[in-house]
Structure 1
Amino acid sequence: MRRLPMLTTTLAAAALLVLSGCSAAPAFTGTWSGTGENAPSLEISEDGAFAGTDGCNRMVGSGEVAEQSFEFGQFATTRKFCEGVDTWLSLAGSATVDGDTLTVLDADGAELGTLTRG
């Protein structure tokens, strides 16, 4: 009956793989960046804490994964005036991930912009 321990190990590994694939949080975690001068950037931790910049103002807060989106919740941000900087990230309400692209939406679900993983 040498097959039983090997079968048990294989089933346990398969279950772990399936269960780890169900966790949505890691899809959102990491560093996300825009392009160009004064580009926005955002870092999301596994516990939902996030910090970043809209290219001008710093922002910090805590959000949570809800189904297939990241809900930003309330966050603090500085309010400096930066001429010529599009501060769209400071209007974030939620975000979705598709591969290496984080699409940021406002509170009404309208797309504000995208950031790339890295």
Structure 2
Amino acid sequence: MLGLWGSKDHRQPWLELLHDGRVVGLDGCNRLFGQWAEAADVDFIALGGTRMFCEGVDDWLSRAATGKLQDDGSMAIFDLKEKELGILAKEGKNS
């Protein structure tokens, strides 16, 4: 379950699940941080972030509540209302 989803290329969204239960990432503009827990899916706990304004950046990843691993290794990201926000590829480019 540990690893990087998304791309650390300039202004691309990504999340990294760390061994100590922390999650760090970027929504394309702002840094994200919090905790994660493994259940049937990945639960993001107290996910917070910086609040800089970046024109033209879609900050969908900052609304992440859960992640669901897909058969191809990617992670679908959902908000609190279980609406799919986007998909992060496993250590690669976003789709």
| TM-score bin, normalised by smaller chain | 0.7 to 0.9
Is the aligned partner of 1:115 residue 2:88? yes
Q: Which runs of 5+ in 2 are unaligned?
A: none
CA distances 1:33-62 after superposition (whole Å, capped 9, x unpaired): 159862101111234311000000001110
Aligned to 1:71: 43
CA offset at residue 100 of structure 1? 1.8
Q: How high is the TM-score relative to the length of structure 1? A: 0.70
Q: Which amino acid aligns with 1:97?
A: L
Identity of aligned residues (%): 37
Structure having the higher helix fraction is 1
Structure having the higher strand fraction is 2
Q: Which runs of 5+ in 1 are unaligned?
A: 1-25
What is the count of residue pairs matched by the alignment? Answer: 90
Tell me which structure has the larger Cα radius of gyration. Answer: 1
| Greater RCO (CA < 8 Å, at least 6 residues apart) | 2
RMSD: 1.8
